[in-house]
Amino acid sequence: MKILLVLDNLSSSCGANVGIVYELARTWVERGHEVYCLTRKDRFHDIDQQKAGLLHMVWSFDVTEDDILNNVTKSDKWIHLSATGKAIFELTHPVFLQKMIDKKFCESSEIRNEYRKQIEKLFKERSFDAAVAVTEPFYIADALASAKVDTDKYVIMMDPYTNNPSTTDRTRKKKLAREQHVFESARKVFTLDFVGNDMNYLSEELLGKRVNFCVPKVKKCGAGRSDDGATVVDSEKIDFVYVGQLYEDIRNPELMLKIFTRLPDNYILHFYGGGCEQIVDKYKEILGDRLVIHGWVSSDESALAQQNAHILINMNNSIKNMLPSKLIEYINTGKPILNICQIQDCPSIPYIQKYPMAVNIMPMDNDNNIVTAMISDRDLETMAMEVQAFTENYQGKIVEHDVIENIYSDCISENVADMMLEEMQK
């Protein structure tokens, strides 16, 4: 088959969704299929030549909208600027304001329309057996759905859209219409299990196009994992590692940080990533050297940090249809996992319950709407005791990889890639 992937970007910092699809594409190429890619680029997302080298060909186009926005919004000054300061800046910079309005209220219509044009232009020059749009952002799937091309269309959907927590009552009707449009135009829509299971707002006919899959990040033995045995434990220090993005609204770190204020002094928390800077800075003053902030690092540095950790921390979202894909990376390491849940029906629980060395930590009076400030001292003390007991029991141990492969066979990238190929070839 000749498969065209339509991606948000193909940079070295491409994000979890594109990274997952890249691994699927690797399997498709190994199976003898031709995989092509259409993507955008801007000054923050140059094409990763190593990734591009795997594919048969990559076409890219420039996006000025993201350059204009990212030059400002990715700066430390903007991140720490007050809401009033941001409003003043927007009002005094009309081009920036126009781009912000387009992104927030029109879902980046300029980029969506450019994607549609680029898809149609490419199909005039070449033919493909299948075109696969990868979300997020959702406008990529919308662009493929609107493109007038003669091929089977597919979508790989790894984040909720209509049921996204950012959806308001005002925007829900418009989002639902777009999602229905995407489903109607697609032959199949591949959805992560916890996303696809939360789509009861769609008709039975459209749900018939849905194909659920598990997060495909478990690697086969010898493929990106070292099995040199258990971690050597320094009795003077126990390193806990968190890797990922933090968000005040859906992945707030305050519960995790409050728990650490109740843990022994030799428990060291390492943060790799970014977000929630004000909260993290507040607890840096409290925890001092026990909180080490590394910031954003390369994927290789991230992998090394996980390999050297005594305990890995998975900080979950406060919504039921989004899962940090980093959890499956953690599982792949075989290390002990501290799984911090903010809601009772957390989508991580079905994954983590099967893992031999993990513990779920959540407030006892959890009502699916945690307000961290209202958690009682007794509840915090109970959670801290659970963490300490788990750490003392499992620190330095490792789960053999053949055990992981057996438990999580539906999360092995090659198996998921083969399932998708089978669906596309029917």
* Residues linked to residue 101 through DSSP beta bridges, in sequence order: none
Contacts of 356 (CB under 8 A, 6+ apart): 399, 403
pLDDT band at 230 (very low <50, low <70, confident <90, very high): very low
* Domain residue spans of the chain: 2-69+108-218+413-425, 238-405
Question: Distance between terminal CA atoms of the chain?
Answer: 12
At 92, the amino acid letter reads T
Query: Which range among 58-72, 80-94, 338-352 has the greatest average pLDDT?
Result: 338-352
Q: Which residues pair with 293 in a beta bridge?
A: 271
Q: How confident is the model at residue 64 (pLDDT cuts 50, 70, 90)?
A: low
Q: Pick from 7-16, 337-346, 371-380 the range whose average pLDDT is largest.
A: 337-346
Question: What is the per-residue pLDDT across 380-394, written as a single tens digit (0 to 9) for each?
Answer: 899 999 999 999 999
The pLDDT-based confidence of 32 (bands split at 50, 70, 90) is very high
Residue 293 has φ and ψ, to the nearest 5°, of -100, 110
**Count of positions (residues) in the chain:** 426
The DSSP secondary structure of 181-248, one letter per residue, reads HHHHH-SEEEEEHHHHTT-TTS-HHHHTTEEEE----BPPTTSS-----SPPPBTTBEEEEEEEE-BT
Instruction: Tell me the pTM.
Output: 0.77
Which residue has tokens 């909260």? Answer: 279
H helix and E strand count, the chain: 19, 13
Q: Which CATH superfamily is domain 2-69+108-218+413-425 in?
A: Glycogen Phosphorylase B; (3.40.50.2000)
Q: Which of 203, 124, 199, 130 is nearest to 161 (CA)?
A: 199
Listed residue (302, 355, 299, 300) closest to 331, CA to CA:
355
Give 156's strand partners. 134, 190
Can you tell me the distance from the alpha carbon of 27 to that of 278, in angstroms, rounded to the nearest whole number? 42
Average pLDDT value for residue range 345-370? 81
238-405 has which fold?
A: Rossmann fold (3.40.50)
Interatomic CA distance for residues 340 and 359, integer angstroms: 8
Please check whether the two domains, 2-69+108-218+413-425 and 238-405, share a CATH topology. yes
Q: How far is CA 115 from CA 39, 119, 145, 183, 357, in A?
A: 8, 6, 11, 18, 44
Is the dihedral angle over the CA atoms 76, 80, 84, 85 positive or is it negative? negative
Q: What is the mean pLDDT of the chain?
A: 86
Find, among 276, 298, 370, 331, the residue nearest to 19 by Cα: 298
**pLDDT range class, residue 289, cuts 50, 70, 90:** very high
